[in-house]
Structure 1
Amino acid sequence: MIIRFLCSFALYISCIAAYAQPHYTPADSMRAKAYWDSSWNYGLHSREHQQYLDSALMVIPTHAYYWQQKSMPLYKMYKYQLAIPYLDSAVKYDPHRWMPYRAYMRCIFEKNYRGALADFYTTKAQYNSLYVMDHPYDFFIALCHLQLNNFDSSSHYLHLCIDERAKKHGKDWVHHNHLFYLGITQYEKHNYTDAIATFDDVIRIAPQFADVYYYKAICQYMLRRYADAKASIAKASAYYTQGYTIREDGALYEPYPYQVRKYFIQGMEKALKDVK
């Protein structure tokens, strides 16, 4: 019932905007901003904060940023079905700004990888912007393909990211997560020797990155390099305990693809316990 009501509210406001001419007066802008300012007298995740945003949108229903601000706290509370129509409205009224953001949210939060790819491809084709959340679109396109088991496509887009960065700033400035996920594609294709070499490149940039040691250990295990695998998993466990895992925008709320959990490491430690 609540979901239907909130989705109906979003549709109602959108219909107002669709059929009304958006000729807002300075007084309208001041009223909407007053509601916006008042929303911050309450916690970001509170219903009162949402209600003041509702009031602002009743005054200026085409204000894309207010729509995005309604969606954002709901995403962080895992209330995706409530958040999605609000973010869709933000994209409707300002696609240039908010379609890349929606693509990111679909990729990392919703796990709607095909929807994210559609947004990223549209954005690349129509708008002159190439980055979102400090990464090129191609990085998130690669993650979507990775999660859809399109490993060759994922590798292709990761190489685009790596090559662009290396060309502009040199190989030492390639982002370690771009290399990490390239290693993951190699691992998934059972190219364990290549994956280990790529993971070693990551370690040179981010020597305390627990996740890369975990996947390196698996590759070493598959190659029967058990002593090396034990050394790698020991480092994975130590650095994971210290909090050295994937650090990206949104990772506080949602795990990134292939992000390691403690029980992953414990399982690998158990598998290695009795091998020599």
Structure 2
Amino acid sequence: MKYLPFSILVLLLISCQQPQAQTLLAASLTPEQKAKQDRLIETYATNKAHQYNYTVQLKEWQDALDEGLAQDPTIAYLWQQKAMPYFKARKYEVGMAYINKAVLYDAERYLGYRAFIKCIFSKTYREAIADFETCIAHWGDRYEMDHTYTFYIGLSYLQLNEFDKAEAYFLKAVAKQKEVFPDVHHLELFYLGIVCYEQERFAEAIAYFDQAVVNYKEFSDAYYYKGLCQWKMNEPKEKIKATSDLFFTYNEQGFSINEANAIYERYPYQIPKQNKE
């Protein structure tokens, strides 16, 4: 191999990479195929599987989806629906086998979803980063579950203690939001504060936490870490107590990170409900 001309080596490398790229990009259907799949989804998912509660009727749910997949095993949505209950039950490896099928048949729609699952649910952060980076390379920095791919990459790096990279990606996420929305999401501001807190940049952290509670005044987790920063900075006890009181008030009322999936998985740095006594 080492004696081959450089140009031939390049061609070989490109040819080795092409199948993966084709798999990711070849998810288009003809109008007729799309219409047929939509009919199967309506029959076996909307009108059958979704009539069951997958928490207590998982077999019926799965059997209905399997009927649809027997008609057409390339329907990515049906594979995703098979996976979803297992993630919520914390049976990650079982669910991942199904979501991999969804990605196989529609990577553009489900690769970002799989990366989200790896970041928030199964907590395989380097795998999540790899999936999100692939998404960005092919389709740009899109949104998954209300946040950008760059946000989740930042969250993954935060959980790997790679704080500089985490901050860089959170700032990219903020810049992306500002292209469309008038306000930055409180969760991006919160995690930028966490990055600063971890690096002992306490004044900067407090500034981010203060911004986070502008749009979500009951955000108890932000008050918790703001209070820690104040304590580490030896601020007056009265200021620390005021922040602590806000934390306990809103924490006891159940206010915390309010992402939809937080009912299934605790988000990084989320504080569970406390007993003030």
TM-score band w.r.t. shorter chain: 0.7 to 0.9
- Most deviating of 80-89 and 38-47: 38-47
Q: Is the 8 A contact 1:183 1:199 kept in 2?
A: yes
Normalised by the length of structure 2, the TM-score is 0.80
Cα gap change, 1:29 to 1:160, in 2 (>3 Å) = closer
- Helix, strand or coil for the counterpart of 2:262? coil
The residue number in structure 2 matching 1:183 is: 193
The residue number in structure 1 matching 2:246 is: 235
The residue number in structure 1 matching 2:44 is: 35
The residue number in structure 1 matching 2:21 is: none
Structure 1, unpaired ranges of 5+: 1-22, 270-276
Cα gap change, 1:141 to 1:129, in 2 (>3 Å) = closer
The residue number in structure 2 matching 1:253 is: 264
Cα gap change, 1:41 to 1:166, in 2 (>3 Å) = closer
- Helix, strand or coil for the counterpart of 1:73? helix
Q: Is the 8 A contact 1:32 1:59 kept in 2?
A: no
Correspondence 1:116 to 2:128: yes
Q: Give distance in 2, aligned partners of 1:180 and 1:28.
A: 41
1:61-72 alignment, distance < 5 Å: 61-72=73-84
The residue number in structure 2 matching 1:160 is: 172
Count, aligned residues: 242
> Percent of aligned positions with the same letter in both sequences?
40
1:81-100 alignment, distance < 5 Å: 81-100=93-112
Partner deviation per Cα, 1:40-69 (whole Å, 9 max, x = no partner): 332223211111111211221111000000
Cα gap change, 1:227 to 1:41, in 2 (>3 Å) = same
- Helix, strand or coil for the counterpart of 2:218? coil
Cα gap change, 1:235 to 1:24, in 2 (>3 Å) = closer
Q: Is the 8 A contact 2:151 2:169 kept in 1?
A: yes
Partner deviation per Cα, 1:238-268 (whole Å, 9 max, x = no partner): 00111211111311111111111134x75xx
Q: Give distance in 2, aligned partners of 1:149 and 1:181.
A: 13
The root-mean-square deviation of aligned C-alpha atoms, in Å, is 2.4
- Most deviating of 238-247 and 179-188: 238-247
Cα gap change, 1:121 to 1:146, in 2 (>3 Å) = same
Q: Following TM superposition, where does structure 1 have runs of at least 4 consecutive aligned residues deviating by more than 6 angstroms?
A: 23-29
